[in-house]
Amino acid sequence: MFKIFVFNVHALREYNIHKALDHPRVVKLYDVFEIDANSFCTVLEYCDGHDLDFYLKQHKTIAEREARSIVMQVVSALKYLNEIKPPVIHYDLKPGKPLFLFA
């Protein structure tokens, strides 16, 4: 019972933080609802495209110009998160997280 309570408190805290974020490089969180006592569902902004991990598995490399653009966009989002008071730390940033629309 205690583990479920702690998880729910942590999930509610993350929901409240994410709901308040407003940046073009951060996926918007619209809502969250409980499915049952042990699970919930989040309603996020629709993102059409693949993540960086998928792209790298398909293409193996990225041109320097595109890589620079990707890094700058990720840095823009991280800078925004750092400037919030209190700052928000993204603990799980990896190639599967950034979503992209490649033309």
Question: Catalytic residue numbers?
Answer: 92
Say how far residue 56 (Cα) sits from the centre of its chain. Answer: 19
Q: What is the CA radius of gyration of the chain?
A: 16
- Residue 65 in tokens: 């110009």
